[in-house]
Amino acid sequence: MDSIMQTEKKCFICARRKYLEEHHIFGGTANRKKSEKHGLKVWLCYEDHRGNSGVHFNRVVDLALKAAGQKKFEETHTREEFRKEFGKSWL
């Protein structure tokens, strides 16, 4: 499914449009599939994705993206549904 987080293809963090990579907000084998199913993914530039301070190496950014993803999911689902699907709440 397409991202429900963004309508435009640009870095979710810095809005750059170069070197974009797709990031699934909830990782791990099961949750990555569920992120795909629900469109909980964002475009990130290489730096914000896999750079030294990118989401894969920066817990603060990771948690902020997870909170944003859960909020978006909860626009159309309950918190209980989120918990059931992803195993816990980040909010």
| Element (DSSP H or E) covering residue 41 | strand 41-45
Pair 7, 44: CB distance under 8 Å: no
List all residues 6 or more positions away from 71 whose beta carbon is below 8 Å from its beta carbon.
Answer: 91
Encoding tokens for residue 38? Answer: 């629900």
Segment contacting Zn ion by CB under 5 A, of 30-38, 47-55, 61-69, 80-88: 47-55
The least distance separating Zn ion from the CB of residue 67, rounded to whole angstroms, comes to 16
In eight-state DSSP terms, residue 77 is S
* Alpha helix positions (H), the chain: 29-38, 46-50, 59-73, 79-86
Segment contacting Zn ion by CB under 5 A, of 8-16, 35-43, 66-74, 78-86: 8-16
Which residues between 11 and 30 bind Zn ion (CB under 5 A)?
11, 13-14, 16, 23
Segment contacting Zn ion by CB under 5 A, of 31-39, 42-50, 65-73, 81-89: 42-50
48 binds Zn ion (CB under 5 A): yes
Residues that bind Zn ion (CB under 5 A): 11, 13-14, 16, 23, 45, 48
